[in-house]
């Protein structure tokens, strides 16, 4: 069941699915600072995208070093339908006392800033940091949606972004994001 909300010019979608199968300009990877791949979304994207993505990540590492938590870098999409993969590093949850909330918001915002630099008009996010990195799902969903909503409202006049999709891997994650969106919107979502 897809949930949709209009944010100025941009349509926000909450959908259950596999982010590697998205037909959008860019998909966002929940990477780690090494950019050398891993499990979860990271593993799925490198598997589906093929070796060119890792090669580009190695070049980025050689030029700029590790990707700090909250930062984002961009590569081509390799074998994926997406033109680009934006690799961002979410915070590892340590109980909430090491600015995890700020770092998580930065990961979404920096990914969107980078997307606009590359004239991306449709982008898909996973639920960053709520898997291996252990971020409490409800709190992460509120931060993710608040950050995306604010970003889209700030650019509404320029009409730069057509779609932002959250691709949620399981029903529980999707329903948690839907509840968070309802809470933020003060309205019932279909």
Give the nearest distance from C-beta 153 to ligand APR in angstroms.
Answer: 25
Name the residue nearer to ligand APR (CB basis): 72 or 155: 72
Q: Which residues bind ligand APR (CB under 6 A)?
A: 18-20, 30-32, 38-44, 90, 126-133, 167, 169, 173
Pairing mode of beta strands 10-16, 3-7? antiparallel
40: left (phi over 0), alpha (psi -120 to 50) or beta: left
Give the nearest distance from C-beta 23 to ligand APR in angstroms.
Answer: 14
Residues 24, 10, 106, 60, Cα dihedral to 10°: 30
- Given the residues 18, 42, 162, 188, select the one marked as catalytic: 42
Name the residue nearer to ligand APR (CB basis): 43 or 113: 43
- List, in sequence order, the alpha helices (H) in the chain: 40-49, 51-64, 100-117, 137-154, 171-185
Whether 25 sits among the annotated catalytic residues: the reply is no
Name the residue nearer to ligand APR (CB basis): 43 or 65: 43
């Amino acid at each position: 069941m897809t949930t949709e909300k209009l944010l100025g010019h941009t349509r926000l979608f909450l959908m259950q699915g596999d982010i590697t199968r998205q037909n959008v300009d860019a998909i966002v990877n929940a990477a780690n600072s090494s950019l050398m791949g891993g499990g979860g979304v990271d593993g799925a994207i490198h598997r589906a995208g093929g070796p060119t993505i890792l090669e580009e990540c190695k070049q980025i590492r050689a030029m700029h070093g590790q990707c700090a938590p909250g930062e984002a870098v961009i590569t081509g999409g390799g074998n994926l339908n997406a033109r680009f993969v934006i690799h961002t590093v979410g915070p590892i949850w340590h109980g909430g006392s090491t600015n995890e909330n700020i770092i998580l918001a930065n990961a979404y915002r920096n990914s969107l800033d980078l997307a606009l630099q590359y004239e991306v008009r449709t982008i898909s996010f996973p639920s960053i940091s709520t898997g291996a990195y252990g971020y409490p799902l409800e709190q992460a969903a509120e931060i993710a949606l608040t950050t995306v909503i604010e970003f889209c409202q700030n650019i509404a006049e320029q009409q730069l972004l057509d779609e932002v999709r959250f691709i949620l891997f399981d029903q529980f994650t999707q329903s948690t994001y839907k509840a968070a969106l309802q809470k933020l919107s003060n309205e019932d979502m279909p």
